Amino acid sequence: MSKLLFLIPVQNPKFISLKNLIMENDYLMLKYELFCRLLLEEKMFQNSSVSYSSLCSLIHVDEHLLEDYIFEELGTGGQELIESLRINFLAYLYHKYGEEAFR
């Protein structure tokens, strides 16, 4: 069975192979998973000094590429996701503990 190599034109005169597109998507998927784990398992959203930009730097991914991937998956941006997690967490604390959670 012969291997087929599809070439897809991009904005510049060079061409990119389908294999490279798949590899890039796998790369972004892994970076997205790492981003989510840092937010949800490590609860980095609770640190007010953490921003979308700083998380992207931490995991060594281009902000714009990951932003597009996050938007495709969740329909929201990276910084908006972090802010939403912070707001929902504060609402949870207030609901569970009342005003005492904020003293």
Whether residue 63 is contained in a domain is answered as yes
| pLDDT for 8 | 40
Whether residue 70 is contained in a domain is answered as yes
Question: How many CB atoms within 10 Å of residue 78?
Answer: 22
Counting the structural domains of the chain, the total is 1
| pLDDT for 17 | 58
The range of the structural domain enclosing residue 102 comes to 50-103
Helices (H) and strands (E) in the chain, counts: 4, 2
Whether residue 99 is contained in a domain is answered as yes
Per-10-residue mean pLDDT of the chain, 103 residues long, equals 39 52 79 94 95 96 94 95 94 87 73
Question: Angle at Cα 31 formed by Cα 30 and Cα 34, nearest 5°?
Answer: 90
Question: Angle at Cα 31 formed by Cα 44 and Cα 72, nearest 5°?
Answer: 95
Are 17 and 5 contacting, i.e. CB atoms less than 8 angstroms apart?
yes
Whether residue 68 is contained in a domain is answered as yes
> Pseudo-torsion of CA 76, 79, 80, 81, nearest 10°?
70
| pLDDT for 49 | 95
